[in-house]
Amino acid sequence: TTIPVLTIDGPSGSGKGTISRLVAQRLGWHYLDSGALYRAVGVAAGWGDIDLSDPAALVRCTFDTEIAFRDDGKELRVLVNGSDATDELRTETAGAAASAIAAIPEVRSALKARQRAFRQPPGLVTDGRDMGTVIFPDAAHKVFLTASAEERAERRYKQLNDKGVSVTLAGLLREILARDARDASRAVAPLRPADDAVHIDTTGLGIDEVVDRVLALLPARE
């Protein structure tokens, strides 16, 4: 019997992370935030003073970086080489580094097995860019989440503001558009919906509404 997988792909700020974690909780399934793996390598590269334009060094860094997740009940903490890097992982610097690193094919293949190892009973919910297309093409349930760039920038703005990080809305929108373009245009695993993914546009929708729509795609459980 195969272990069920629900993939939730989409651009940054589409709400993937929040929705996936809540859906996993409701189902009692495991959760993998694949973007955190790329961000973790980006952060580790920064700690090691590794040049983002040196693919060979970044590939080595990918193999050398230990990444562990711990859900403290409130949020998912990420440990990079044993240190809690959760807050640093969320910065736009980490996101931009992740996006640059994610364009290197050898980095992507190095992370493939690590991602697939999260497929454990009773099931896995995973979010990212290529979960439904490359990592779990056989997933039974696939969602592609979108939202307008303006709404995604506003959500990120609120998130960062709540954490006391000072950013501007215009700056965030610019960064989001640049990252979208890079993620969609790269040669390897560009952001695109799987042919069999269900599209959900979350613009104007609340979190609970989106969670319900995603859960409605799964067979009813008794």
Least distance CB 56 / ligand C5P (angstroms):
19
Q: Is 10 flagged in the annotation as binding? A: yes
Nearer to ligand C5P, 4 or 17 (CB): 17
Closest to ligand C5P by CB, 4 vs 115, is 115
204 is in an annotated binding site: no
Task: Establish whether the linkage from the previous residue to 105 is cis, with ω within 30° of 0.
Answer: no
Task: Read off the DSSP letter of residue 134.
Answer: I
Q: Is 11 annotated as a binding residue?
A: yes
Q: How far is the CB of 39 from ligand C5P (least distance, A)?
A: 5
* Minimum gap (Å) between residue 219 Cβ and ligand C5P: 26
The contact set with ligand C5P (CB under 6 A) reads 12, 34-35, 38-39, 95, 98-99, 102, 128-131, 179, 183
Q: 62 a known binding residue?
A: no
- In the bound state with ligand C5P, the residue whose beta carbon lies nearer, of 95 and 123, is 95
Q: Which is nearer to ligand C5P, 43 or 98 (CB)?
A: 98
The reply to whether 14 sits in an annotated binding site is yes
Smallest gap from residue 68 Cβ to ligand C5P (A): 17
Please tell me the distance from the alpha carbon of residue 107 to that of residue 62, in angstroms, as a whole number: 6
Q: Indicate the residue among 123 and 183 with the shorter CB distance to ligand C5P.
A: 183
The nearest distance, CB 220 to ligand C5P, in angstroms, is: 29
7 known ligand binder: no
Give me the residues paired with residue 77 across strands: 70
Which amino acid belongs to residue 166? S
Q: Which SS3 state, helix, strand or coil, does residue 188 take?
A: coil
CB 74 within 8 A of CB 80: no
Instruction: Please choose, from the candidates 130, 138, 149, the residue with its C-alpha nearest in 3D space to the C-alpha of residue 193.
Output: 130
Strands (E), the chain: 5-9, 30-33, 67-71, 76-80, 83-84, 124-128, 141-146, 198-201
CB within 8 Å of 73: residues ≥ 6 apart: none
Residues within the annotated binding site?
Answer: 10-18
Residues within the annotated binding site for ATP?
Answer: 10-18
